[in-house]
Structure 1
Amino acid sequence: MIKKETFQFLKDLMANNDRDWFQENKAKYEEARQNVEEFADEILIEIKKIDSSIPPEFSGKKSMMRIYRDVRFSKNKLPYKNNFGIGISSTGKGGDNPGYYIQIQPGESFVAGGYWMPQADHLKAIRQEIDYNTQDFLKIIESKEFVAHFGGLNQEDKLKTTPKGYDAEHEYIELLRLKSFTVFEKLNDNVLNSSKAVETIVESLKMINPLTVFLKQAIGNN
């Protein structure tokens, strides 16, 4: 589970996002980070049973996103993120590949997965796979359990025009207009503070897995 002290550290960081405060509270940061690493290790034990593409040696420590922000090209100059991120895929925590993501943030925690903003050749391959095997894709994203959990695929990243090579009257043109293929489910703080936290997240990851399998097959990474 995620300890209440971890959430409290993040709340305090949100109110005191500067280097002096962070250095003075470095011990609390290390304790919170350790808690999230151990939490990620528990999740990885279970998800590796489902997704064999995740490297056996991939650990909670390796899955952790940096808390330090890259402010070089950002108007937001706050030095630290106000969350802990856990990234899981066959290529590690990042990379251009389908996978899973868990964010720990007071009031804004969530579990997500799929493929966010794939590179051009991957996007082309995914659209082609959806076009060729539409019913297989629909079976995943329109299943009752999937829709109940996630409400369907996120629609934010989408072309306003028709992708090259497809007819505007294509029956599934709205799917083909997508530029990302992801799902999202908000996590309640109380759930993450409970003994059911890992079980709850793993249940969601199990439902995301068929989507990631389809996407990996589309780009030839299976």
Structure 2
Amino acid sequence: MSNVKFSKDILDFLKQLGNNNNREWFNEHKKTFKQLETQAKLANTQVFENLKKHDNVDNMKMFRIYRDVRFSKDKQPYKTHFGCSFHRKKPELRGGYYVHVQPNNESFIATGFWQPNKEDLLRIRKEFEQDDEEIRDIINDNKFKSVWGDFQGEELKTAPKNFDKEHPAIDLIRKKQYVFIKKYSDKEVASDDFLKEVDNAFKTVRPYFDYMSDVLTTNLNGESII
């Protein structure tokens, strides 16, 4: 699969779809869409195969192009991107990977914890309340930071219930999501090296996942809960 990639044709089609987001246009170009969807799936499968060489990922899910408009004010029927998630083997491993290909320099990869359930969120916050040194060492590592930058995602304006708003780790505790995002230009996405670049970025996040998996599979005393 050495020649597999997200081609410029994929980006061009998605751009056209953004300008013609209606069923009539889509049905007229559905044959082209199916060909490009297959290309995108092959590229995502290559990401999956690369991940399996250095992490225990057991599932990938490429999301459908069709939007669920039932409860949305935006009634455009189609997404203008290809998205795919990659799941680590649970319950012992936590976190996941995501690849998002969208034209106009809107592509990105993401990793971490997008919507942790309330039990996991509380466990993470309690860990940071007890000791935030290890997580800061990981996310402030020069190599890690050069690839992923800082935490992204939603956070509370003040402290969560039953947490001290003056706590030294309140900047971490008040977060509701613990994700990292890396953006890419159209030129980068269509390059021959993009899939390798994605894999190298995903490799860099491993210390973060190892730490968070350990937190979420133990209690505050370090005893296993799985």
User: Under a length normalisation based on structure 1, what TM-score does the superposition of the two structures give?
Assistant: 0.88
- Contact persistence 2:106–2:184 (CA under 8 A): yes
Q: Give the counterpart of 1:192 among 183, 189, 193.
A: 189
Could you tell me which amino acid in structure 1 is paired with residue 139 of structure 2? I
Match of 1:25 in 2: 29
Match of 2:107 in 1: 109
Superposed CA deviations along residues 168-220 of structure 1, whole A, max 9, x for unmatched, are 22111110000000011111211221211111101111122322333333322
Could you tell me which amino acid in structure 1 is paired with residue 71 of structure 2? F
| Deviation for aligned residue 1:127 | 1.1
The answer for unaligned runs of 5 or more in structure 2 is 219-225
Q: Paired residues, what number? A: 211
| 1:145-184 correspondence runs (5 A) | 145-154=143-152, 156-184=153-181
Match of 1:140 in 2: 138
| Deviation for aligned residue 1:38 | 0.8
The answer for unaligned runs of 5 or more in structure 1 is none
Q: Give the counterpart of 1:126 among 102, 124, 127.
A: 124
Match of 1:77 in 2: 75
Tell me, in whole angstroms, the C-alpha distance in 2 between the residues paired with 1:208 and 1:36: 24
| Deviation for aligned residue 1:117 | 2.4
Q: Any idea what SS the aligned residue of 1:112 has?
A: strand
Could you tell me which amino acid in structure 1 is paired with residue 43 of structure 2? F
Tell me, in whole angstroms, the C-alpha distance in 2 between the residues paired with 1:170 and 1:120: 21
- Contact persistence 2:107–2:185 (CA under 8 A): yes
- Contact persistence 1:84–1:104 (CA under 8 A): yes
Match of 1:36 in 2: 40
| Deviation for aligned residue 1:133 | 4.0
Could you tell me which amino acid in structure 1 is paired with residue 45 of structure 2? D
Q: Any idea what SS the aligned residue of 2:85 has?
A: strand
Instruction: Point out 4+ residue stretches in structure 1 off by more than 4 angstroms.
Output: none
Q: What is the percent sequence identity of the aligned residues?
A: 33
- Contact persistence 1:115–1:212 (CA under 8 A): no
| Deviation for aligned residue 1:129 | 2.4
Superposed CA deviations along residues 108-148 of structure 1, whole A, max 9, x for unmatched, are 00011100121111100111222334222112111111221
User: Under a length normalisation based on structure 2, what TM-score does the superposition of the two structures give?
Assistant: 0.87
Tell me how large the CA RMSD over aligned residues is: 1.9
Could you tell me which amino acid in structure 2 is paired with residue 108 of structure 1? E
Tell me, in whole angstroms, the C-alpha distance in 1 between the residues paired with 2:137 and 2:65: 37
